[in-house]
Structure 1
Amino acid sequence: MYVVNLIYTAPLERIDDALDAHRAFLTTHFEAGVFVAAGPKVPRDGGIILAVRIDREKLDEILASDPFAVQKLARYEVTEFKTTRLAPGLNLPIPV
């Protein structure tokens, strides 16, 4: 599992201009089962994406296609961790 930390590198006006395209990007990868959670940080200086079922190279390729990356509006910090425990009722994949 990966925690993707998006850090905005452009003013919010430019982020807002690209937001619809970014949301379409997110939808594509939610539907593919790669992204399982996403949202803006508070305060709004970036966002967080949780990604699963993917190797790091492929995740990096996906992130490079994000309109925020293409337009150089954000940078990404990716942290991988091994999920070993989940809250009851939470259904996320746990690698074997």
Structure 2
Amino acid sequence: MFVVPLNYKVPLIEIDQLQAAHVEWLKSCYADGIFVASGPKKPRIGGIIIAQCPRDVLDARLASDPFAKAGAADYDVTEFLARMTAAGLDTFREA
């Protein structure tokens, strides 16, 4: 499983112009079973993505994010093993 903090590199006005395309990209990642959760940071300086897939698949998807294509965000990928999960999240537990 991966935690992916992203940080905006451009003013929010530029992020807002890319937002609709970014949301469509997020939806496709969820539809393909790659993303588990995502959302903006508070304050709005970037976002967080939780993903479960092979690393090469994640890297390819991140590169296709409209934010990445526009050079509007940096991504920091951290892999971890989810040894314990809350009730209802058993499918994400890793041996």
Secondary structure at the counterpart of residue 48 of structure 1? strand
- 1:10 paired with 2:3, answer no
Please name the residue that 1:55 is paired with.
Answer: 54
What is the CA-CA distance between 1:30 and the residue it aligns to? Answer: 0.5
1:71 Cα deviation from its structure 2 partner:
0.4
**One-letter amino acid of the counterpart of residue 70, structure 1:** K
Where in structure 2 are there 5+ consecutive unaligned residues? Answer: none
- Contact 2:18–2:66, Cα closer than 8 Å, also in 1: yes
- Unpaired segments of 5 or more residues in structure 1? none
Q: Name the counterpart of 2:42.
A: 42
Letter in 1 for 2:59: D
What is the aligned residue count? 95
Q: CA RMSD in A?
A: 1.0
Q: Quote how far apart the aligned CAs of 1:58 are.
A: 1.6
- 1:5 offset after TM fit, Å? 0.5
- 1:21 corresponds to: 21
Runs of 4 or more consecutive aligned structure 1 residues displaced over 3 Å after TM superposition? none
